[in-house]
Structure formats: C-alpha cells, structure tokens
Amino acid sequence: MAYSYKGSLNFGLVYIPITLHSSIKDNDIGFNMIDKKTMSRVKYKKTCVDCGDRVVKQEDIVKGFEYEEGKYVIFEDEDFEKLKTKKDKNITIEQFVDLKEVDPLYFDRPYYVLPTGAEKAFGVLVSAMEEENKAGLAKTVLGTKETLILVRARKGEMLLNTLFFEEEVTRNPAKEIKAEVNKKEKMIAKQIIESMTAHFEPEKYKDEYRERVQKAIEEKIAGKEIVAPKEKSENKIINLMEALQKSLEKYEKKNSTKKKVKAK
C-alpha cells in the first residue's frame, strides 16, 4: 500500500517512525471532455503566455512568486526543503485535547497511521488515547504547506486528520436568526428527531446516484435513451405546525411497522 508521508510521530521523549496512508479513495466515474462536433477528446495544455502560447514541458515548469507586475522570484524544491526545521519534518504532538471539543468543521483529510518500528510504543499510545478519549494536536509541513494535525485512536487503530487553521475557516454568511421559537413546535421537532434517531451504520448508505449513472452508461452503449424515473409528487404544507405533526405521524408509523416486522 503506497504511503503519502514518511516520518515520525513524537510525543514527550517517545519517537515512533510512521507512514501515512490515505483512508479515502476516489470513487467518481471518469468522464472525458469531448468536442461534440468531431467527437474528439479535448485536452488542456500548459502554454507560455509571452512565448506565442508555446507548449511548456512539465520538467521546465517552476514555482514563481510575483512581487511586482511581471517580476518573479523563483523557488525550487530544494529551497522549500531548506526552510524546513527538524520539527517541520516530523509530527510532534504539542498537546492532547478531548476529542469531542474538536468541531468537525475543522476536519480536512483523514489518513491511517502505520508504525514502521517502535510498535510497542505505538500500541501504548493508541490504547491510552482511546481509553481516555483524547486526541493529539500537532503541526508539520506537508509538501510546501504547514498543516495542523489531529491524531486520534479508534478501535485499536491510529488515525490522523489534517485540520484547517482558524484563519482558513470563513464566517457563516447567514444572518442571526431572530424568529421566535414556539415551545410546542420545538417539542414536536424533538419528538421527530427522537423517532428518526438510530445508530450510525455507514455500510447502510450507498452512492445510489453513481449506480444510476453507471446503469445509464450501459444503456447509452446499448443505444437506449435515458428515461427519468417517475416520482410521487408531495403536497407542500405551508403551516409549520401541520408539517411537524404530519412528519411525526409518518415516522412513528414507520417505526411501528419496523417493530412488527422484527416481532414476526
């Protein structure tokens, strides 16, 4: 399994060599861009703006920072490496926090953490974090960007999530809601939430739209036309209390049916 990072995880004076492996795979269906007149593929080319749109090879492309209009300072990969301190090249836990304190809003990409040595220290850290429900906060440089990191334990495994910095999270554009909350409406809303509450079982949820797209591709290949599925039209309810009551009746009826099926 290919890794996306190789370094070490440090806490206190304990050093654990690790590799990071992406826990997410791209499951999208790939479509090419096609010229509808010629049915030929459309490609992007990297061209030189001031060279008559001459195509530039990848090995001739470098990073440049524009400090004045039309003037750049060039940075090679070696320049970025020189700027990294020893701490930047490893993941050093700076503090531990209660996992529930970290708002999911800050979560970016998840990785599996695999030890490449010091397995005992790794096991001790995973077990201790999981029992205490704590997560470690750290910073490191991944590529050319400093990254905030959360290290956590789950079912005997160690996971690492890159986090957004506070300055990267934008403010909610929604204005403050000043509508008065009716006690009875809120009570029914709570009952609906309770009737819809169940354990999180991710295996129950499938990418149904992807399955429909895949089926449509097969139908197109066979020369068939795509037919939109017929759906029942639902009457819109304008009155909030009526909408809440009907919703509650719907889910209570659904739960009652489920209980009867289980009993049988």
Distance from C-alpha of 251 to C-alpha of 196, rounded to nearest angstrom: 7
Burial of 179 (0-12, 13-18, 19+ CB in 10 A): exposed
190-223 pLDDT, tens per residue?
Answer: 988 888 888 888 888 888 888 888 888 888 888 8
Domains of the chain, by residue range, sit at: 5-24+82-167, 181-197+237-264
12-40 pLDDT, tens per residue?
Answer: 888 999 999 989 888 888 889 999 999 99
DSSP 87-136: TTTSEEEEEEEEGGGS-GGGEEEEEEEEESS-HHHHHHHHHHHHHHTEEE
Tokens of 249: 């009746």
Tokens 């919703």 -> residue:
247
Distance from C-alpha of 115 to C-alpha of 53, rounded to nearest angstrom: 48
Nearest to 33 by CA among 42, 22, 24: 42
Nearest to 44 by CA among 76, 26, 53: 53
Q: Which residue has the higher pLDDT, 168 or 245?
A: 168
Q: Does domain 5-24+82-167 have CATH number 2.40.290.10?
A: yes
The C-alpha angle 251, 257, 260, rounded to 5 degrees, equals 145
- Give me the pLDDT at residue 1, please: 55
DSSP 48-69: ETTTTSEE--GGG--EEEEEET
- Give me the pLDDT at residue 251, please: 80
- Give me the pLDDT at residue 124, please: 94
**Is it the case that residue 174 has pLDDT exceeding 60?**
yes
Cβ atoms 14, 126 nearer than 8 A: no
Distance from C-alpha of 4 to C-alpha of 77, rounded to nearest angstrom: 17
- Confidence label for 263 from pLDDT (cuts 50, 70 and 90): low
51-97 pLDDT, tens per residue?
Answer: 888 999 888 898 999 989 889 999 888 888 888 777 777 899 999 99
For 10, which DSSP code? E
- Contacting residues for 179 by C-beta, under 8 A, at least 6 apart: none
Cβ atoms 55, 144 nearer than 8 A: no
